[in-house]
Structure formats: structure tokens, C-alpha cells
Structure 1
Amino acid sequence: MMLNNHINLPEWRERAIQFEQSLNSVVLGLDHQVRALTISIFSRGHVLLEGDVGVGKTTLLRAAAQLLGGEYERIEGAIDLMPSDFLYHAYLDEKGQPAVSPGPLLQHEENLAVFFFNEINRARPQAHSLLLRLMAERSTQAFNREYSFPHLTVFADRNRLEREETFELPAAARDRFFMEISVEAPNDRDLQRELMFNARFHNVDVLIDSLPAGLVPYAALNEVSDAIQSSVRAELALQDYAVNLWRALRAPSEFGVVLEDVDVSRLVAGGASPRGMAMLMRAARSRAWLEGRDYLTPDDIRAVFYETVAHRIFFTPAYELRRENIAPRLLNCVLDQVSAP
């Protein structure tokens, strides 16, 4: 690919660092999650946050939307949410006549920068189906025409604890998310004290409004991302390492992966697709760029491995219910077993 010569990548890297610093000023103890979110945004990927209630998932996503600028829309996951609720509102006008107005997805058309799906696992699969095309193609069809959202980033969050009236995301929907990022409350005592007693963190609206809107202009990110991907090279030894990781994920027993209480030869049902592994390398290149390098290292891959790969590995039914326990062990063992250059 040709490098976009008019894109000043050092200047954009400074913007990216400021973006991270701004996010870290409104959520405490989430440095790793903020870095992962930054990598996703500069890789032009969609993001799913998962965690307990009240740990800062929504605050983090709202802060990112503020820093990107552009139009922002949000929809709440609910058991009765239907695909049409994204597209239009039907109501009676002042004359008592039926009328239709654009829904949250269509109000701003190509100026829509961020669409936030709150508590996505509360929505039925019918609602997820519309989201699939939106994330894959950044477009949808309604009112006999095509709507395009070339600069759109989809954010979603999922409550890890509550299971009543919730629906598991289908494999196809999970695979569309560039990263799944786990968010937990900080364990550091000083950070806990700060969150409890510093009134600055008690009013989220004021906190978000304090951030500079449009610090990272959303409409430029497509070109910036292309320039980043073009600027970071991967030597042959690094390419071999990445391919071996892929092969080990698909057939872990052939690479000597051993997990206690797991028949590794019958563990993996599918996943680690070409698209998924391509997303891993996009994330790794963005990470290298954020670190100030124009070449990939094994550490770049390892740093983004779990967030980009774990949700794209699907286990056989006997092990799927133990995913939260098995997936981290599998990925760590694969990283240990595959030799890095």
C-alpha cells in the first residue's frame, strides 16, 4: 500500500497520546483498557466492553465519543427491542395522524461518529442481526434507500453478572467486534479512595463535558488508520511467528498445549478465522505505532492478543460453559508454547 503522504503520523501520535491521557483522567486504574480502546479506534475497529455494574464502562465509552467529536447516538438493550427501533419512530402527530421520524441510527447519516449499544446482551438476536451489517459494512437499508456511515464506530457494553432476561451474542456478532475488553474495579487502595471521596468523579456529565470535544477528529481516522497500517513493517521472522500462533489456536494439541481437566484435542470447535487474525495484526501495528516504532515486535502481538482473539475462539459444547476459565489459560499456553523470534 502507498503511504498517505499528507498524513503527519508523528503529529497524530501526539494526538493519540493526548487521547489516552484524557481518558485516563476520567476513569482511574484502567490504563490497559484505555490503551486497548485507543488501539481499536486507530485501527477503525468496533469495541465491546464487558464487566460488572458501575465499574466505568459507560463513562469510558462516553468519554471516547466526546474526544472523537461528531454526532453520537445511543440505544438501550431491552427484551422488546426490535430492528425497526434503530431506524424509525412511529407516533401520532399533533393532528392525530400516524407519522414516522428517523430513529437514532438514521438521524445524522454520514455525520454519525459513535453509536453506543448499551447492555447489548439484553436485546434479542433480531436486534443483533441489524448490528451485524452495520458493523461489517458501515451501512444499512431503510425507506427504500441505502444509508452510509463511513466514519462510524460502534461501542457496546455487556453486564457480566446479570443473566436474567439476557441473550448470548451469536458467534457472528462477537466476531464483528474488533476487541472485547474486560473492565474491573481498581484494586489499588489509593484509587479506591479517590473514586469514593473525590467529588469530581461523582458527576459523570460534568466530567465528560470537561474533555476537549473533537481532540481526535473522527472524520480523519480512516485515512490515519490506513497510513498507520502502511507505515509499520513486519519482518519475515515476525510473520512466521504470527502464523504459528494462528495454527496453534486452531490445533492446540499439535503444538503441545496442555490444560488441566481439558481434552485439548476436543476443545476448539472453530474460530481464529483469517479475518480475526488480520484484526490481530491491525491491532499489533497500531500498538507499535503508539510505541513510536515503524516495525512489529512479538511484544506488540502479545499486548493485543487476548482482547482481539479470545472472543473469536469457539469451544465445543462440553467446554463452552467454562469459557471464562479456559480461554485465558488456552491463550497464555499458546503464547508460551510458540517460540518468538
Structure 2
Amino acid sequence: MTADAVPLDASQASKLHEARNAIREQLGKIIVGQDEVIDELLICLFSRGHCLLEGVPGLAKTLMISTLAKALELRFSRVQFTPDLMPADVTGTEIIEEDRATGHREMRFMEGPLFSNVVLADEINRTPPKTQAALLEAMQERQVTVGRIRHPLPDPFFVLATQNPIEQEGTYPLPEAQQDRFMFKIFVDYPTFDEEFEVAKRTTGSSVAEVKPILSGEDIIALQDLVRRVPVSDHVVRFALSLVRQTRVGSPGIPAFVDELVGWGAGPRAVQYLILGGKARALLDGRFHVQVEDIAALAPPVLRHRMVVNFAAESEGISSDDVIQRIIDATPQTEDELTRDARFQKIFAS
């Protein structure tokens, strides 16, 4: 257990679990299925992270995010990213304003849609990298700098971005530095037959479901602070470090298949997000501590956009998710096996 972790009592630990169930119930009025996607969105939210959702058009990515915003008593903005969108259209700009009483003119900053609690960056990869980069400072520093003046963003602040697969027409690949600001990259898949059957029935009728707000901004901030107080053992931290360090090509102790299939691996931010995500996942499940299974379950959404496979892997149809799963399978989950394995002793010593 880390030294600064404060033990939680049962009533505190149950708050996030109850909030998850209430939000799920509200989202279930509009969204059919996608339980895993919703859980990962909530983990991201309560970890103070940002989330990138990828899927083909028509899978209700935008509807899911806007419905989540309704279930939270927060200010919501949607930005439709297009090829002609400029950075100032997102962050805001300075305008000249005249004081009618005195006749003097002065510069005034007009806030852009980024100054909201929940920002939906819709189809973020349909705008050029220049405009995509307008989000970098906001996502990392939670502020916007215009004309040497820093403008703090509201708290809580949560960027949810959707993107279409890069193979589709009219898309620009997100720079690696931009992707690294997102805690999770979540794949949104097609619904099952039964789910799509229910979607067809709901969306072609006249009834409209009403979503009630569950949490306020103050509630979310309190729950985010609660997540950071969840204890985590040194063994779980070592396991998270083991997964991330095995993605780094050329490092001591990594599996041979990583050198063969990976172009470059994940940085320290991946370890931070694995541990924070594990804490949030534990509380969402009503548990007081983080397990190795939490880290393993969150490894794909945390690592898939931070670890890049090389041409050899692409030519064989091997994705980053395939490599991540192989790394998980090759990593012992018990403390004794992990610390005694000669290969991991090299990883820990490097």
C-alpha cells in the first residue's frame, strides 16, 4: 500500500458503485448495450482522464456522449470537427469591444466551446493537425493561453472525442502526442442482433425517454478525489510497470516478439493511467483495493494508442491489441512468480 493512501470505509467505497449503477440506468433509457464502453467512459471520468472513441459512423458514439452529459449536471459543448475548423474556433479569441459610455476600445477574450465541463470533440480526425493541436494545452494543463494570458478551464473538465477509422475518406491521423493525452482509446463495435433489434424498435416509435441528472460537478470532484485515495499494493504497481516496460523495443528482459512486432512502446503516462484506472474500476465494482485483474483488463484501452506495431506486424495482420494480449499472457500475475522470474528481474533492474 502506498504511504499516502488513506483507508476507505464501506460507505465511502459504495458511493462510486451506486453512482455507476444510477448513471447506467439513465443511459440505458437511450443506449442499448455497450455496457463495457459505458464502464470505461465512467472509469475515465472518475480518473480525471480524457477518452477517445473510435468506430464507424452510425454506432451512436455521439449519442452516447451527449446522453452521458445529460446524466451529469454539467455544462456541455459539442464541437463538430471539419477540415475548415480553425484553432480559435475551439479555444476562443480576443475581440475588440467598445465601451459605449466612454468610447474607449479594449481587447476582450471571448471564450470558445472548450470552456465547458464536458466537451465532445466530434469526428476529431476530420480536421487538420493544426486544429487538433488546439486541444493539447487544454487536455494536459486544463487551461488555454491566448495573447500571453492564461485562462483556466472549469473543473471538472473532460474531453470526449470520437473518430472514424483512419481507413475512411477525409480523415487525418491524430499525432502521437495528441493521442497520448487521452487516457483510453475505446473501440465501439457493431451491436448484436438482439441489441440492434431493440434499437430499431426504440428509434422508430414516437416515445422519447427523459434522462435525469445524477451527479453535479461537486459530486464528481469529490468522487475523483475518492478514487485517488484507494490503496494499491506494490505488487500491483510492479505488474503495471511490467506490462508497460515490455512494450519498449530494445529494453532488457522484453519478449522476443516485441522486438519483432513493435515500432515503439508506451511512456510513463501509461503506468499512471493503468493505476488510476485500476483504482476507479475497483470502486465501480464496490471493492476497496486494486487487483492485478483490474490492470490486465484496462491494458488494451490504455496501451493500444501508445504502442505502435511495425510494418512486419501489419503485413501479418497483427494489431496492437494482439501484442498487448500476448504481453499479458507472458506476464505472471502472482507476486512470487513476478519477482523470481529472471526475465522480470532484468526489467526491474533496467
TM-score bracket, shorter-length normalisation: 0.7 to 0.9
Confirm or deny that 1:186 pairs with 2:180.
no
Alignment map for 1:172-251 (pairs within 5 Å): 172-187=177-192, 189-199=193-203, 206-207=208-209, 210-213=210-213, 215-231=214-230, 233-251=231-249
3-state SS in 1 of match to 2:246: helix
Alignment map for 1:10-159 (pairs within 5 Å): 10-88=14-92, 102-105=110-113, 109=115, 112-142=116-146, 145-149=149-153, 150-159=155-164
Where structure 1 has 5 or more consecutive residues not aligned to the other structure, the ranges are 94-98, 259-263
Q: Any conservation in 2 of the 1:79–1:123 contact (CA below 8 Å)? A: yes
Candidates 296, 306, 314, aligned match of 2:308? 314
In 1, Cα distance between equivalents of 2:134 and 2:264: 24
Segment drifting more, 246-255 vs 296-305: 246-255
In 2, Cα distance between equivalents of 1:136 and 1:324: 33
2:322 corresponds to: 329
Candidates 281, 289, 296, aligned match of 1:295? 289
Q: Any conservation in 2 of the 1:13–1:289 contact (CA below 8 Å)? A: yes
Q: CA deviation at 1:199?
A: 3.7
Segment drifting more, 178-187 vs 247-256: 247-256
In 2, Cα distance between equivalents of 1:153 and 1:135: 8
Q: Any conservation in 2 of the 1:241–1:340 contact (CA below 8 Å)? A: yes
Percent identical pairs in the alignment equals 25
Q: Any conservation in 1 of the 2:247–2:264 contact (CA below 8 Å)? A: no
Where structure 2 has 5 or more consecutive residues not aligned to the other structure, the ranges are 98-106, 335-350
**Structure 1, residues 111-163: CA drift from partner, whole Å, max 9, x if none?**
x2111111100111111111011100110023553211131101110012663
**Structure 1, residues 257-315: CA drift from partner, whole Å, max 9, x if none?**
54xxxxx4243333311111111111011111111111221211122111111111123
Distance 1:66 1:325, change over 3 A: farther
Q: Any conservation in 2 of the 1:314–1:320 contact (CA below 8 Å)? A: no
Distance 1:218 1:319, change over 3 A: farther
| Equivalent AA in structure 2 for residue 338 of structure 1 | T
Alignment map for 1:155-174 (pairs within 5 Å): 155-160=160-165, 163-174=168-179
In 2, Cα distance between equivalents of 1:241 and 1:323: 29
1:274 corresponds to: 268
In 1, Cα distance between equivalents of 2:291 and 2:317: 28
Distance 1:255 1:101, change over 3 A: closer
